[in-house]
A and B are shown apart, each in its own frame.
Chain A
């Protein structure tokens, strides 16, 4: 009989062994997730469904007069499924387990077949897969994640590739804690280690998609500009800029980028929309002979607001200068006439001051999104300098508050604290970079001179008391590079040595 050559018995034995081995492998890795009764039930339910399908197929073959062939079909079908399960774990996770919301089974299966996956940190990869199943699950997600000890699991795992950080962020997002997910993704996207390149790409894509979902297009543009050349976030930024009528590059460039970027099919409707967008008509400028300062200021103002994140510092300086020129006797006279006609009681001088205060909010908002760093040697009109200093003061207070909250001593934090520590560091980096965007190097050096000691102590405590070498290394390496770039009189030898020891 042909059925005798199909080794069904050994296959079943191998499956049982695999299930048992999975529990053992998790324990060996120091994991708190074991192959629980729930996981086994999930697995056997799926296995029973597959067997039932095969039995139905065999019955159909028997009815069709292929009785003698039925066992062969059954055996071949089982063999095919086993081979698929072993050779295509990614597809099984993506298409079957995660969509069904089988959290434990997804984790176990991904963990067991990790050599076949592409992520360099198998434990974190398994948690990321389980997070995807968790999103589909209808159980209490936070309780499930806590019960399975996923955070603790990745904390114990290797963090060298950065995927553990991604796993924490994915887990937070799957549990509905999106603000925490944003902070951790932020830290991952800014980490400087070259081994984190893949994790950084993953984090940037999530952040860009999250910003697009909120309609925060300026953020999408900023993220895209910082992304590598073939990254999807870069294509998204290009598409958004073209849609908003900010054609920094031509359509041919957009088409070329669309071809070389992965996931272009997802972005196709947006690409077509961007290609169909017409460039803005622009505000009609005053004739050269017309020297109405108010109209000129309004024209420049409209152009700057329309440029959004693409606005340049030189453009803002010209805008501020134009508004300052509005303060003239002619404007006072014009306001005085209208005050008389409307029967208003405001003093013309007060009205002029109120008029000149109106653009401050827009200029401040544009500064908040400007992508270009502050150029050295920029001649700042008083209006621009005043708005910049106000904005810098607010950002400096936020940064110092965040730095002040970083712990520098005391007892080590409990194990699942690592994501919190990374999230706190991510928030500090984000605050620093938003301040750096508006600051001259000398101003930034002053800020870093005040804060480097506290950051250094925090990193030392993180390394010594918490054993978080990767986070400490990221802090030391960044401090060393930044202090060196700005010429801050810090203890460079100490920073360099600490970065080397923790690296």
Chain B
């Protein structure tokens, strides 16, 4: 996972670099609520590398990073590229469950 882009709190929370601390807090809480409810729109976030999978740990870390002004200065500087939307860039395919089985190897069944 790229620390520069994929862990940047501005991309994770979908905020502009000029967002206030209050806006960051509200956006984080909103995303946490949506993730808990399983809302499809909250499952990914846009980065300059394309969409990435979002989870509650990432959101909490992003909120903590933006509460610290010293950390926020660094992440602001690193958030200089626009994030691309979900269709602009290819994403890594999910793990191929059953790849071994497809070639004739079967994982042992539980005894």
Contacts and interface: CB of A to CB of B under 8 A. Distances in A.
B96 to A, nearest CB: 4
Given A209-B103, A278-B90, A361 B74 contact: no
Contact of B90 (A243, A266, A299, A358): A243
B84 to A, nearest CB: 6
B111 interface: yes
Contacts of A273: 93
A394 B94 CA distance: 30
Residue among B50, B93, B107, B109 with most chain A CB within 10 A: B93
Contact of A206 (B49, B73, B100): B100
A295 interface: yes
Interface residues of B, number: 40
7 contacts: A135-B105, A205-B103, A209-B102, A213-B95, A217-B93, A280-B90, A344-B70
Residue among A140, A210, A298, A354 with most chain B CB within 10 A: A298
Interface of A: 132, 134-136, 138-141, 173-176, 205-206, 209-210, 212-215, 217, 232, 240, 243-245, 263, 266, 270, 273, 277-278, 280-281, 283-284, 294-295, 298-299, 301-302, 305-306, 331, 334-335, 338-339, 342-346, 351, 354-355, 358-359, 361-362, 365
Given A212-B95, A215-B94, A362-B2, A351 B105 contact: no
A295 B107 contact: no
Given A301-B4, A338-B73, A358-B4, A206 B90 contact: no
Interface in B74-104: 74, 76-78, 80-82, 84, 88-90, 92-100, 102-104
A358 B74 contact: yes
Given A344-B70, A354-B74, A299 B81 contact: yes
Given A175-B108, A243-B90, A351 B48 contact: no
A266 B5 CA distance: 35
B4 to A, nearest CB: 6
